[in-house]
Structure 1
Amino acid sequence: MSDDHVYLALAEGHDDSDARWAFGTGFEDPLHGVDTEVPAGIDREELAACCLALGDDALVAAQRLAEWTTRAPELEEEVALANIGLDLLGQARLLYARAGHADGTGRGEDAYAYFRDAGDYRNVRLAELPNGDFAFSVVRLLVLSSWRLAHFERLTATADPVLAAVAVKGVKELAYHRQWAAEWAVRLGDGTEESHRRMRAALAAVTPYLDELFAAYDVRDDVLGVLGQVMDAAGLALPEAPPLPGSGRDGEHTEHLAPLLAELQSVARAHPEAAW
């Protein structure tokens, strides 16, 4: 196998001393000492919409990763996928809380997560697709983490101090998510004939959703550069495919989101006033 430690190169420049731990397992509060007032001059509606969309991406992706519990090929990878999902869940909680503050409604994270229907969600559609086989989930995680990391790196300099603090914390986590997915992409792509075939099929399934990601945030060059590096090491190539019309950012989703949310929201909707 000739991975050339591609994941080490991808992680270069990131302090990953605590990146392998799930969000919330330590005692550091990413918002400690941060002024939570929305600064003057910031469009509160735009800030809320940004936080809501990024929170939806994280929540839906976390739910899909949770479905690998007891099903991953190895116990170590099951733990890794669960921790990655917890990182994303932690990001979603902070982003939802910020959205509720910015839009003036004061809604909490539960209101956003459990009491909206599929058409109200603004996540990208790639996040909601069924897990498929392990190769598909690896490719999807590689694409989503590379894309999210590139955007969060830019958000560390945003004018809103809370969103910037969430991004700083998220960059460390997402660097590890991308590293983990890159390692597996190389192992599978440069592995057996069957694993290589499955990786090619996964890439073909994911590629039509790429344009939706780049329409949301202008990080195309950064993401394609990372994917190209990983594909070269894995003996793979991104196929060309026409983009799919529509966008989850506009509330246009696949038929897969509603069942995912029904499972996610079932207990909260059955007991809406319950305290846990």
Structure 2
Amino acid sequence: MTETDLKQATMQYVTRLGDDSIILSHRISEWCSNGPFLEEDLALQNVALDFLGRARMYFTYAAELEGEGRTEDDFAYLRDERQYTNLLINELPRVDFAHTMARQLFVDVFNTLFLQQQLQSKDETLAAVAAKAVKETRYHLRRSHEWTLRLGDGTAESHQRMQNAVDNLWGYTHEMFDVDALEQQLIEAGIAVDSAALRPQWLEKVTAILTEATLTVPEDSWVVRGGRTGYHTENLGHLLTEMQFLHRAHPGVTW
């Protein structure tokens, strides 16, 4: 791989990470004024802001690598659905509080493992992003872990809602561990994280938490993929319409 090819591949990889962050950030932000109580309402917005800050760092770096004069806003607001490469689990509707917490548990456990490995990246910028994000993710995981226990081992209704959420989301978790040709090249170059190698640890940690919460770990009977190649659920189009509206309605306007 030439230096130019490596730079291009890194830009695509960083964009994927930015897409994951901004889409999940928007989904979590939808709880603003809708949280179960005020403190949790504020906590969710802080988590959303953490992911938004992460997205900004990734998109800014992607624009730098591309070198065509685009900015973080161009990546966030001026790409269409098929150009987004986020994991499908991040774009799914929030449904209810149990679904949000189950998704956060799955993503937070993954991010804790992923960012620990990203700290070792030969790309100094990616390592620096990980150094900041890993601290936030520990807090995120503590929250999602506690809520999983509280809901799973709570009332009959909260237990059933949490079990439904786990069952409905499980098939989307496999995509987090897929490694394609692009990522394999960057893994060999010491830049990207080998996500596939993280699944045994992720499964062990998630299984322990779900068991503690009196929840059943689903069987791997179905799998949904496509986000990394631009094939999304119908939910992403609706999300982008809302997220991008103001920027597209007033092109070129800055604060």
TM-score by length of 2: 0.90
**1:92-171 correspondence runs (5 A):** 92-171=55-134
183-192 or 103-112, which deviates more? 103-112
Q: Does 1:59 align with 2:38?
A: no
Q: Does 1:180 align with 2:159?
A: no
Task: Tell me the distance in 2 between the aligned counterparts of 1:90 and 1:108.
Answer: 15
Displacement after TM superposition at 1:147 (Å):
1.2
Q: Does 1:213 align with 2:170?
A: no
Q: Identity over aligned residues, as a percent?
A: 38
**1:181-196 correspondence runs (5 A):** 181-196=144-159
Displacement after TM superposition at 1:223 (Å):
1.3
Picking from 17, 31, 39, the partner of 1:76 is 39
Q: Does 1:275 align with 2:254?
A: yes
Structure richer in helix, relative to its length: 2
**Residues 71-127 of structure 1, C-alpha deviation per residue, up to 9 Å, x if partnerless?**
110111111100000000000000001111122224211000000001000000000
Displacement after TM superposition at 1:175 (Å):
1.0
Structure 1: runs of 5+ lacking an equivalent: 1-39
What SS does the aligned partner of 1:242 have? coil
Structure-2 change in CA distance of 1:245 and 1:193 (3 Å): closer
Task: Tell me the distance in 2 between the aligned counterparts of 1:84 and 1:196.
Answer: 24
**Residues 20-68 of structure 1, C-alpha deviation per residue, up to 9 Å, x if partnerless?**
xxxxxxxxxxxxxxxxxxxx79811221112101110110000001100
Picking from 207, 212, 215, the partner of 1:228 is 207
Structure 2: runs of 5+ lacking an equivalent: 180-194
How many residue pairs align between the two structures?
A: 237
Return the structure number with greater relative CO, CA threshold 8 A, min gap 6: 1
Displacement after TM superposition at 1:241 (Å):
3.8
Task: Tell me the distance in 2 between the aligned counterparts of 1:242 and 1:119.
Answer: 27
Task: Tell me the distance in 2 between the aligned counterparts of 1:168 and 1:97.
Answer: 17
**1:241-260 correspondence runs (5 A):** 241-260=220-239
Task: Tell me the distance in 2 between the aligned counterparts of 1:190 and 1:142.
Answer: 15
What SS does the aligned partner of 2:234 have? coil
Which letter does structure 2 place at the counterpart of 1:258? G
Task: Tell me the distance in 2 between the aligned counterparts of 1:181 and 1:247.
Answer: 26
Which letter does structure 2 place at the counterpart of 1:129? L
Task: Tell me the distance in 2 between the aligned counterparts of 1:53 and 1:234.
Answer: 32
Which letter does structure 2 place at the counterpart of 1:250? T
